[in-house]
Amino acid sequence: MLHYNQLQKRPKDFLAMTGLQLDEFRKLLVAFEATYLQHYPHALTLNGKARQRRIGGGVKGILQSGADKLLFILVYQKTHPLQTAHA
Protein backbone atom coordinates (compact mmCIF):
# COMPACT_ATOMS: atom_id res chain seq x y z
CA MET A 1 0.00 0.00 0.00
CA LEU A 2 1.22 3.48 -0.81
CA HIS A 3 1.85 5.88 2.03
CA TYR A 4 2.55 9.58 1.79
CA ASN A 5 5.80 9.31 3.77
CA GLN A 6 7.19 6.84 1.24
CA LEU A 7 5.93 8.48 -1.94
CA GLN A 8 7.01 12.03 -1.03
CA LYS A 9 10.64 10.90 -1.31
CA ARG A 10 10.07 10.18 -5.02
CA PRO A 11 8.77 13.46 -6.56
CA LYS A 12 8.47 12.09 -10.12
CA ASP A 13 6.42 9.12 -8.98
CA PHE A 14 4.34 11.41 -6.76
CA LEU A 15 3.51 13.61 -9.74
CA ALA A 16 2.68 10.60 -11.90
CA MET A 17 0.40 9.07 -9.27
CA THR A 18 -1.47 12.20 -8.14
CA GLY A 19 -1.05 14.80 -10.87
CA LEU A 20 0.25 17.26 -8.25
CA GLN A 21 3.65 18.55 -7.21
CA LEU A 22 4.55 18.10 -3.52
CA ASP A 23 4.05 21.79 -2.69
CA GLU A 24 0.61 21.74 -4.38
CA PHE A 25 -0.32 18.63 -2.40
CA ARG A 26 0.73 20.22 0.89
CA LYS A 27 -1.43 23.29 0.20
CA LEU A 28 -4.38 21.09 -0.63
CA LEU A 29 -3.74 18.97 2.46
CA VAL A 30 -4.28 21.94 4.78
CA ALA A 31 -7.72 22.61 3.30
CA PHE A 32 -8.56 18.88 3.15
CA GLU A 33 -7.77 18.26 6.83
CA ALA A 34 -9.81 21.27 7.95
CA THR A 35 -12.80 20.22 5.86
CA TYR A 36 -12.49 16.58 6.92
CA LEU A 37 -12.59 17.51 10.61
CA GLN A 38 -15.54 19.78 9.95
CA HIS A 39 -17.55 16.96 8.33
CA TYR A 40 -16.31 14.17 10.60
CA PRO A 41 -15.71 15.69 14.07
CA HIS A 42 -14.03 13.47 16.66
CA ALA A 43 -16.82 13.96 19.19
CA LEU A 44 -19.54 12.57 16.89
CA THR A 45 -20.22 9.24 15.24
CA LEU A 46 -20.67 8.92 11.47
CA ASN A 47 -24.43 9.31 12.05
CA GLY A 48 -23.85 12.67 13.78
CA LYS A 49 -24.72 11.41 17.26
CA ALA A 50 -22.60 12.00 20.36
CA ARG A 51 -20.10 9.21 21.05
CA GLN A 52 -20.84 6.86 23.93
CA ARG A 53 -17.21 5.81 24.27
CA ARG A 54 -13.92 7.56 23.87
CA ILE A 55 -12.20 7.64 20.50
CA GLY A 56 -9.82 4.76 19.90
CA GLY A 57 -12.04 1.77 20.36
CA GLY A 58 -12.84 -0.62 17.57
CA VAL A 59 -10.94 -1.46 14.42
CA LYS A 60 -8.12 0.87 13.45
CA GLY A 61 -8.30 2.28 9.95
CA ILE A 62 -5.48 1.65 7.50
CA LEU A 63 -5.40 5.30 6.40
CA GLN A 64 -4.61 6.95 9.73
CA SER A 65 -3.21 10.31 8.61
CA GLY A 66 -4.92 13.02 6.59
CA ALA A 67 -2.07 12.91 4.08
CA ASP A 68 -2.65 9.21 3.43
CA LYS A 69 -6.41 9.76 3.03
CA LEU A 70 -5.90 12.58 0.54
CA LEU A 71 -3.26 10.60 -1.34
CA PHE A 72 -5.64 7.65 -1.66
CA ILE A 73 -8.41 9.88 -3.00
CA LEU A 74 -6.17 11.58 -5.56
CA VAL A 75 -4.58 8.35 -6.80
CA TYR A 76 -7.97 6.68 -7.06
CA GLN A 77 -9.44 9.60 -9.01
CA LYS A 78 -6.48 9.68 -11.40
CA THR A 79 -6.10 5.96 -12.05
CA HIS A 80 -9.70 4.66 -11.99
CA PRO A 81 -11.69 6.23 -14.83
CA LEU A 82 -15.45 6.12 -14.92
CA GLN A 83 -17.11 3.06 -16.38
CA THR A 84 -18.53 5.21 -19.16
CA ALA A 85 -14.97 5.85 -20.34
CA HIS A 86 -14.45 2.10 -20.72
CA ALA A 87 -17.52 1.66 -22.90
pLDDT by residue for the chain (87 residues), tens only, comes to 789 999 999 999 999 999 999 999 999 999 999 998 888 887 777 787 887 777 677 777 788 899 999 999 999 888 887 666 655
Q: How far is Cα 72 from Cα 77, in angstroms, rounded to an integer?
A: 9
pLDDT of residue 12: 95
pTM, entire model: 0.78
Question: How far apart, in Å, do the first and last CA atoms of the chain sit?
Answer: 29
